[in-house]
């Protein structure tokens, strides 16, 4: 029976550490190749010769390993069913694209039952990228049963593999994004977000992409208004949001920005008030309100690779939307500079109004589906 991979070299009779549960992907380079050439290759070598399984031809491989020493292996034969949240209403049979996806919640091999006392090896692919997940914990004394939701966890790994451009943003790149007041908003197409990140890495101004971004927002406005109106948090603020959108369409960015930046705080206050334990409405706590609402709907046994990037969005709200200012000195546009009357007219711009709309839509997707009719 497989036990895992050694993490350190040991002499005969010495104690040593080894890993029994792990996720790696093609992003991990030589480590990933080492893993694939270990236990997955051993599994392939044990298959009947007439199966003609070659490593180069594997899209997915699933091996379920039982405590009696037997295993069932599936190679390129199990359909993958993904449970996801999407941005728009769809009809049965309608095509769904990556730009429609808000979150991947689970990925399941259709018809496969994996007992919670069985070991597991999974190799799966997304385009040119591949990943490996294994868990041999149930095969080791004292033979604990699997306690986490397997398909939920695989869904997060599938999300990580599918949207690498979001999950590989470095700290320095985040600093640049926030300094320029931008964020990889869920409303935007992924090719636009990838272009934003390319600009960051090239040292170019993200504002040069404003025309592309604002055009995408204009195209999405009807969808945005529809979903906001059907949400029992944002619906309370629709009179202001509809007016802000109307001004945006007319090019009145002073009115649109003023309405949006004050109403965003109101939306977060509503979120905080509807939480199980409302907090004092400080700006720091309000910045956490969307994050806390999102966390409230999660299974806390699984770490989420969410396309919403909720941890970073909380930082964005706190550092950019609620940015502080020094009296008498130029201040970036923020809720505070607007509220205290120090923002200059030229800051109430297409960029500011566009970002305001994107913030509202980002918050919308943090609201648990249970609160959305």
| Confidence at residue 91, expressed as pLDDT on a 0 to 100 scale | 87
pLDDT single digits (tens) 217-276: 999 999 999 999 999 899 999 999 999 999 999 999 999 999 999 999 999 999 999 887
Whether 78 and 192 share a structural domain: no
367/359 Cα distance (integer angstroms): 13
Helix H or strand E segment including 362: helix 350-364
Q: CA angle 222-216-309, nearest 5°?
A: 95
Whether 158 and 244 share a structural domain: no
pTM of the model: 0.89
- Residue where a domain terminates, one of 162, 188, 213: 162
Whether 151 and 174 share a structural domain: no
pLDDT single digits (tens) 87-132: 888 888 899 999 999 999 899 999 999 999 999 999 999 989 999 9
Whether 52 and 9 share a structural domain: yes
Residue environment code for 144-177, b if the CB has 16+ CB neighbours within 10 A, otherwise e? eebeeebbbbbbbbbbbbbbbebeebeeeebebb
371 falls in which pLDDT band (50, 70, 90)? Answer: very low
pLDDT single digits (tens) 136-173: 999 998 999 999 999 999 999 999 999 999 999 999 99
294/157 Cα distance (integer angstroms): 19
211 pLDDT above the threshold of 80: yes
Hey, CA dihedral for 183, 189, 192, 194, is it positive or negative?
A: positive
Whether 140 and 206 share a structural domain: no
Token output for 193: 């977000």
| Confidence at residue 367, expressed as pLDDT on a 0 to 100 scale | 86
Q: How far is CA 205 from CA 97, 175, 180, 202, in A?
A: 29, 13, 8, 9
The whole-number average pLDDT for the span 299-326 is: 86
Whether 215 and 75 share a structural domain: no
- Residue where a domain terminates, one of 117, 140, 162: 162
Contacting residues for 79 by C-beta, under 8 A, at least 6 apart: 109, 110
Whether 150 and 256 share a structural domain: no
365/288 Cα distance (integer angstroms): 14
Residue 334 is part of which domain span?
Answer: 169-371
Whether 157 and 173 share a structural domain: no
Whether 155 and 43 share a structural domain: yes
Q: How many residues does the chain have?
A: 373
Cβ proximity of 101 and 86 under 8 Å: yes
Whether 72 and 174 share a structural domain: no
Whether 152 and 197 share a structural domain: no
| Confidence at residue 163, expressed as pLDDT on a 0 to 100 scale | 94
* 294 three-class SS: helix
pLDDT single digits (tens) 289-298: 999 888 876 6
Whether 245 and 286 share a structural domain: yes
Count of structural domains within the chain: 2
370 falls in which pLDDT band (50, 70, 90)? Answer: very low
310/269 Cα distance (integer angstroms): 17
- Residue where a domain terminates, one of 162, 194, 212: 162
372 falls in which pLDDT band (50, 70, 90)? Answer: very low
């Amino acid at each position: 029976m497989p036990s895992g991979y050694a993490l350190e070299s040991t002499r005969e009779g010495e104690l040593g550490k080894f890993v029994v549960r792990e996720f790696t992907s093609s992003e991990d380079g030589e480590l990933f190749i080492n893993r694939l050439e270990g236990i997955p290759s051993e599994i392939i070598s044990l298959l009947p010769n007439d199966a003609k399984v070659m490593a180069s031809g594997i899209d997915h491989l699933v091996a379920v390993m039982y405590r009696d020493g037997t295993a069932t292996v599936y190679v390129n034969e199990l359909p993958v069913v993904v449970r996801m949240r999407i941005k728009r209403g769809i009809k049965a049979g309608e095509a769904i694209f990556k730009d429609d996806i808000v979150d991947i919640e689970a990925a399941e091999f259709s018809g496969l039952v994996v007992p919670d006392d069985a070991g597991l090896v999974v190799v799966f692919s997304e385009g040119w990228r591949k990943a490996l997940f294994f868990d041999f914990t149930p095969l080791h004394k004292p033979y604990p049963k699997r306690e986490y939701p397997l398909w939920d966890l695989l869904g997060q790994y599938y999300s990580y593999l599918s949207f690498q451009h979001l999950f590989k943003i470095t700290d320095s790149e985040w600093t640049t994004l926030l300094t320029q007041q931008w964020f990889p908003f869920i409303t935007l197409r992924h090719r636009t977000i990838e272009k934003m990140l390319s600009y960051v890495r090239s040292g170019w101004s993200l504002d040069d992409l404003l025309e592309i971004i604002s055009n995408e927002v204009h195209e999405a406005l009807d969808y945005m208004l529809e979903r906001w109106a059907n949400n029992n948090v944002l619906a309370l603020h629709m009179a202001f949001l509809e007016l802000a959108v109307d001004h945006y369409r007319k090019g009145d960015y002073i009115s649109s920005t003023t309405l949006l930046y004050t109403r965003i705080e109101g939306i977060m206050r509503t979120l905080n008030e509807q939480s199980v334990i409302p907090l004092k409405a400080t700006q720091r706590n309000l910045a956490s309100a969307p994050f806390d609402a999102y966390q409230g709907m999660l299974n806390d046994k699984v770490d989420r690779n969410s396309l919403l990037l909720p941890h970073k969005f909380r930082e964005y709200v706190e550092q950019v939307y609620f940015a502080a200012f020094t009296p008498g000195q130029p201040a970036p546009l923020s809720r505070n500079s607007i509220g205290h009357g120090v923002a200059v007219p030229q800051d109430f711009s297409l960029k500011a109004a566009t970002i305001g709309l994107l913030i509202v839509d980002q918050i919308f997707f943090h609201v648990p589906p249970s609160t959305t009719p």
